[in-house]
Amino acid sequence: MEKKKSEMSLVEKVYKETFSMFKNNSRVLQPFLIFALIELSALIFVYLIPRAPLSHVFGPIVRTFWGERFLHYPANFLLLPKLASLSRMFLSILFGSLLTAMAVSIVSAAQHKKNIGLRLAFKACIKKYLLVFALVLITTILLYLCGKLFTFVLMKYFLARHAKLLFFGPTIWFGPVLLCFNFLVAILVQSLFAYAIPAIIIGNSRFIKAIGESFILFKKFSLTTLIIVGLPLVIYIPIAILNSNSLLIIEKSYPEVILIVAVFSTGLTSLVIDPLVTVATSILYLTKKD
């Protein structure tokens, strides 16, 4: 009980410092703004795939993996959330890893009463790019495989002509249950690796040691970490529900609403959720390191 109280007070302290950081050092948001612009550009790109000239190059890919109908209105909007998710996954590994590292570097400097900009943060982090790239790649693959494995098991079970699993049919399992599973896995995996980038950038740790440090910190402050990682992710639940009900959106309103939801999702994840998680975990890492 005493430990829970201590961890809850630590959550309060970390969040106070996090919001103070946003208020007093706006530079910490610049890497996330850059990523938001990159992701928005990618979203516009995938939206334009069914149109010439992009359709000549990328149309055959969509046709091969998903079918001809997804190159035509309004079915192209049904595919948009999936393509947006895949592009975000790719961009997070390629660009997000470096930009997150730069944000961590800016946070570290601010906590030590220094003020650095994007140029200095880039110089400090580019030499460690391969480490953070590999780290984000591993966490992304883990998240992807967990979701795919759970979906595969469910499909095998229900394709074997089982009507129900634990009193629920496939509609419930492939709907709310799958959504909750992916949400909980995302919190757990991100919590386990939450301190690895700070360990690389701030602590100058090598790859394996950084992961080990992250696991140890998570074990010591599991409740605190789960809260500061999970609480911002809760904000994303309505977007996840909307994305999983794209067909219903098209039937009840206009297909273009899906594009609006995708744009809003980009802003929410890149400018709210990612900064909150990155800055809060960096501050906690610095607190315990110092």
CA dist 189 and 78 (Å) reads 28
pLDDT at 35 over 90: yes
CA distance 117 to 271: 18
Closest CA to 210 of 192, 225, 228: 192
CA separation for the pair 8, 21 (Å, rounded): 20
**What is the DSSP code string of 7-51?**
HHHHHHHHHHHHHHHHHH-GGGGHHHHHHHHHHHHHHHHHHTTTS
Domains of the chain, residue spans: 2-289
pLDDT value of position 3: 64
C-alpha–C-alpha distance, residues 51 and 49, integer Å: 5
Q: Can the peptide bond before residue 255 be classed as cis, meaning omega within 30 degrees of 0?
A: no
- Partnered with residue 165 across adjacent β-strands are 168
- Can you tell me the distance from the alpha carbon of 73 to that of 174, in angstroms, rounded to the nearest whole number? 26
Q: Given pLDDT bands bounded at 50, 70 and 90, which one contains residue 161?
A: confident
Question: Is the distance from CB of 280 to CB of 227 less than 8 angstroms?
Answer: no
Residue 168 pairs in a beta bridge with: 165
Structure tokens at 78: 């049904």
CA 278 to chain centre: 11
pLDDT in tens, 168-211: 788 888 888 888 999 999 999 999 999 999 999 999 999 999 99
Average pLDDT, the chain: 90
What is the model's pTM? 0.91
The pLDDT-based confidence of 142 (bands split at 50, 70, 90) is very high
